């Protein structure tokens, strides 16, 4: 029986560690029949080492999503490797340390601008860079952390994720005519490299111990990866502008 991504060509960003959602997305995508290509920044060699743990070999491209030169050459490089694309996974987020950890009211705009550029605007810039390769439509899937609420320690990454969520909706509006779907997976907290960069992350994560209807495992990124792979597949052919929660159900619980 063929997998749900059989014949699909997928570009995946953000594979930094084996514990990341992006890594498990890449692994599951290959297992489900996709050809994949990875992007990495600032250390492609790190991603190349992690990529060796995937079921099949895959090419790694250096890509800084804030660099117009990198974005401008992306379609040519990916086109030579895969011929085209059916899906793009945006697993990119960054905020300077002074934008996190309880410093919300004192964060300078320069740091806020960096967080917004890397974490939100890049969804649009990455997708537009890949657009020439998506002539037959496709699926763009990003990763968010529920921006309906103000979370402990998360500070300016919260507004950045809110901007990401709005960006995805506007992209869904404007790219639907090209049969390109744009959706997000809102995952619960995981002990990834991104999480470790947030001061006081354990305080944020502890919310899940008390309120999540389903038991939540900080060490298991596979459920979120499954959500991403499902949205990349043809099983959601008319779903766009959506946020799928893979968070143990916590988003539905008030207290």
Active site residues: 154, 161
Alpha-helical regions (H) of the chain: 21-31, 44-51, 68-82, 109-116, 122-130, 157-175, 193-196, 201-211, 222-232
Phi-psi label, residue 246: left if phi above 0, alpha if psi -120 to 50, beta otherwise? beta
Total residues found in the chain within this entry: 255
DSSP string covering 19-84: TSHHHHHHHHHHHTT-EEEEEESS-HHHHHHHHTTSSS---EEE--TT-HHHHHHHHHHHHHHHSS
Q: Is 105 exposed, middle or buried (0-12, 13-18, 19+ CB in 10 A)?
A: exposed
Residue 166, classed as helix, strand or coil, is helix
Q: Which residues does 226 contact at the CB level (< 8 Å), separation at least 6?
A: 28, 246
Instruction: Give binding residues for NAD(+) as ranges.
Output: 14, 20-21, 64-65, 92, 161
Provide the CA 51 distance to its chain's centre, in angstroms: 17
Instruction: Give binding residues for substrate as ranges.
Output: 95
Phi-psi label, residue 200: left if phi above 0, alpha if psi -120 to 50, beta otherwise? left
């Amino acid at each position: 029986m063929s997998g749900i991504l059989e014949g699909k060509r997928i570009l995946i960003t953000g594979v930094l560690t084996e514990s990341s959602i992006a890594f498990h997305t890449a692994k599951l995508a290959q297992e489900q029949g996709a050809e994949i290509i990875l992007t990495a920044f600032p250390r492609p060699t790190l991603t190349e080492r992690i990529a060796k743990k995937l079921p099949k070999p895959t090419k790694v491209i250096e890509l800084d999503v804030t660099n117009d030169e990198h974005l401008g050459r992306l379609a040519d490089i990916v086109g030579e490797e895969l011929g085209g694309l059916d899906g793009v996974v945006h697993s990119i987020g960054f905020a300077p340390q002074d934008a996190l950890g309880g410093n919300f009211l004192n964060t300078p705009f320069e740091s806020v601008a960096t967080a917004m550029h890397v974490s939100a605007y890049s969804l649009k810039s990455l997708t537009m860079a890949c657009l020439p390769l998506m002539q037959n439509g496709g699926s763009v899937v990003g990763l968010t952390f529920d921006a309906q609420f103000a979370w402990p320690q998360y500070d300016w990454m919260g507004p950045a994720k809110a901007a990401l969520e709005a960006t995805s909706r506007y992209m869904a509006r404007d790219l639907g005519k090209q049969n390109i779907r744009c959706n997000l997976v809102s995952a619960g907290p995981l002990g990834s490299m991104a999480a470790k960069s947030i001061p006081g992350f354990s305080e944020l994560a502890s919310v899940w111990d008390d309120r999540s209807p389903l038991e939540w495992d900080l060490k298991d990124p596979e459920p979120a990866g499954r959500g991403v792979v499902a949205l990349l597949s043809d099983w959601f052919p008319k779903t766009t502008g959506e946020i799928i929660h893979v968070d143990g159900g916590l988003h539905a619980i008030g207290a």
